[in-house]
Structure 1
Amino acid sequence: MDYVKAVSRILDNIEEDKVDRAVMGCLRVARHAKDHLNAALFLRELYPDRLEVGRMIFDDMPNLKEEAQKFIFKISLERWLEIHTLDFSLSSDKDGDERNVLRVGVGEIDPELDQWERAIDDMKLSSGMDPFDIAAFTDSFRQQKAEIRLRIRALNTIKARIRTRCLNYAVQIEKQLHVQQQQQGFLDAVQNDVNNFFKARSDDVYSKLQKAAQLAASKDLEDSSLLLTEVRRALKSVADHYYPAVAGRVMCSDGIERKLGDEQYLNRLQEFLNVGLPQSTSRELLQSELEHLASFIRRLNDMASKGVHATVSLAESKQGLVGLYFFLFNLAQHMTFRIES
């Protein structure tokens, strides 16, 4: 979904006083963004029937736990009541209790307003009426018009509140998109710096990073396991570049013997950080990043190898790629600084 265009359409509908279309636009954005609470709220504005709303809310969020579904149902009802509870009474029931909650769907508001305006225009006295009839009809029309105008006032109040809620939601999404664009710009800069760094130093690392980026751009869910594999290959290629495989067991800098062969690329990377970079807080941070990245990749690889496709999504695989780029970005900064020093 193009959120920018969707928000723009919502704002256009608000400016043109097409509140029902604005609500449908907000509902579409909320559903697509999996913003379940606001989706439930805008659903209520379209379908005020409680049972229908409940069915659609639960259909929209089948993956949520029952407690979460009930919470969303409850909070969305409370926020719906905030909009539909009036500061004045429309009528009283047989027990004398005032009725100040108007249940109306947003799509019904404008047609009902037009209907009531026509009804008021139709309340005209016929010529030639008896003075007593004129007085009786005038009094009756006055009372009916007062009730109709009260109803019109209620409808306009609710319409204005819904319009304000749509506007606030659209502005909120606009701000969110702006922040995301800034974050994406930062991620793009990190990716660009890493690609340029390894393009000048290792064709193999660079080519594997490019392959991983292509898989990340794919919308095919089957590419998730392929992306994981490519992230692992890229990390191994980095290890091959900085610390080539060594046969047999090697006494590492921490006094422990380890295998640093072709498959032990994580051990080789860890040893490179220990011996290739001076002791510092920055090196410790790099080591922590490597440990976190390695743990994350191992977990997802284990899931993929067991065929747990439902739990290994393309989004999770992308997290591995992002983690790889940030690790390599910090590594590149250290290596550049070391060379310049």
Structure 2
Amino acid sequence: MQLLLAPMEGLMDPAMRGLLTALGGYDRAVSEFVRVSQGVLPAHVWHRYCPELLTGGTTAAGTPVYVQIMGPEPEVTADNAAYAVSLGAPGIDLNFGCPSKTVNRRCAGASLLKTPDLIADIIAATRRAVPAGIPVTAKVRLGYEDKEHFLDIARAVEDGGATSVAVHARTRAEGYRPPAHWHYVAEIRAALHIPVIANGEIWTPEDYAACRAASGGPDVMLGRGAIARPDLARRLRDHGTAWPWERIAACFLRYDDALAADDCTPTMRAGRLKQWLALVKQHAATDWPFTPALFEHLKGLTDITAVRAALSDPSGLSGVDTGVPTRG
């Protein structure tokens, strides 16, 4: 079983990557995408998106972080990939799946799903530009508006020379709306000779089991589910049960500490913690039933000290039924 930590703009920042990989279970991670359109970006841009380049291309826990690049021009993408590798990237991942309207209007991300030949050209140029020992991987969706050409897209990735492909099992038009169509991943696995990783709608161990059965393989990339349940990778590895809230709260505080060390303002830190809790209460309230009430209490707060205190000890919130026995 290969467990990969997905790239997600605005969610899987370096601090979150560092936290989740420190909890264990992940074989590798992928940075947020770096968009390239002309010329080679300077080193400080790469270091901003992937500070792990300054520490051997891994998180503090030793998990490799591939740099994800998104762009429509084969040679520009290739030149930037070669430079990222020179800075220490252990692998390059190419983004052909971002559904953002802004990105797609600029002929990048998921819009490239409409031109499988160009996908192959971008991958091939990148493959030629980086050393043979450096993996070049890709992330795709099943199509842009529909799934008619999902195998053409997958074959283009392999024809271009990619080491492996992660398949978000929805089209661009479907965005992030459930369900994920994992059975298409099984067809892709049968058609290709490179490893195929399933992605999308894996929130729980039960989802993982269903995805494994439908997609025909054990390898998955965890995205929003990894944030909603910080213990998910460990539970998949260890066949364990949900962690107690005290351990999850400690994750929130460690993340905030990392944000503070990166000079985020207290207000920004409070916002990021509430953004994270919103994902937990929406998708993981079966494990921590009081999180919707906790979020309602926190959503109007901007004081980072108050936010941290409430996350640490939700049982102490006046008038909020957390389901956790009050201390004392």
Category of TM-score, reference length = shorter chain: under 0.3
TM-score of the two chains, using structure 1 as the length reference: 0.21
Larger Rg, first or second structure (1 or 2): 1
More strand as a share of residues: 2
More helix as a share of residues: 1
